[in-house]
Amino acid sequence: MISKENLIKRFVSYVTVDTESDPNSESTPSTEKQWNLANALVEELKRIGMSEVTIDENAYIMATLPGNVEHKVPTIGFISHFDTSPDFTGANVKPQIVENYDGGDIVLNKDQNIILSPTDFDDLLMYKGNTLITTDGTTLLGADDKAGIAEIISAMEYLVNHPEIKHGPIRVGFTPDEEIGRGAHKFDVEKFGADWAYTMDGSQVGELEYENFNAAGAVVSVKGKIVHPGYAKGKMVNSMYMATDYINSLPRMETPEHTDGRQGFFHLHHMEGTVDGTKLHYIIRDHDRKHFDARKKMMIHLADELNAQYGLERISVEIKDQYFNMREKIEPVMHIVDIAEKAMIDAGIKPLIKPIRGGTDGSQLSFMGLPCPNIFAGGHNFHGRFEYVPVESMQKAIEVIVNIVKLVGAKS
């Protein structure tokens, strides 16, 4: 496949470009700086020999590797996103290369005493002897999902250079703004023209996912009343105390830090407040659609109950659905999961088929008519300073892509 050195060089060239998305922006892409990497990817796709390379007015990139067989073969796709999470800065990323990892602590930043340790992240111990790419402790890394992009482009380059590998037509797609839930919003499924696709956006080697959370965002607005504190008795209404009542009335153990597997949660991820007004920003997640709907109703009902106690309409809740569980769209075409599973086994990988505790572009694309399971990209600890990716995991992902292509080409 691709050499370790060239893969590292390609990946590092991506993560050192700041592509953080912005949930408060209404443009697409949500940040102008995403164009910097998008335009570079277009040129790279052309350079490696891809055909029909396009980028539209919203920075959605598509390209084709034409089939090289005479018999009819389904058109398949591979998709990743180039934005990084606004949860933690992606500016001035300084990747560190750890050769032959020994299983011990990794000092990310000596001055700030930031250490990546298997005591805190025991997944590290799976990668003893591997080459790890880490942060310098002050930024995220961007393996989510620039590892996926590096893997897709590397796999396409390998196929271009090895025409003896027989395959059908392959489509590649790279999207902006996935991290803020809008990556698929302006994706032209008809133009993409694939029968099905795979997002390369998972974590640990072997992950293969066709179930994800149903997801919604909620903003709880609390209205208070400000008066001079020296003359406030019977007059002041402190919105932050009412907001605290609301927070404490939701199930405390149904939060991200207390749930796993298919368990859903309420996640308060941001808040701002004064006496006069407070806003609570939540995300709501559940794999079960009925439970998901019940969680949304609970948040609204809780506001109604507290308003009744206060005797005034002080609390309001606005909820917007973000995406739904792709399982119902994948199960009718489970052969596409079976192909990915076989591709992993052929690469010597034990498939880990499990639900995603999150979402990908594939969640929305599946409901838009493009069935799209998710495959590992290799990174860990996304969206923070402790993010890392083993290079060998990325190499395995490239091998899986090539194996899928071979299997689909041979199948028809």
By annotation, the residues acting in catalysis are: 83, 178
Residue 80: both structure tokens together:
């990743």
Q: Are strands 170-175 and 76-81 parallel, antiparallel or unpaired?
A: parallel
Half-sphere exposure of 318 (CA within 13 A, CB side): 6
CA dihedral 57, 368, 330, 289 (to 10 degrees): 120
* Residue 184: partners with Cβ closer than 8 Å, 6 or more residues away: 175, 178, 361, 363, 364, 365, 368
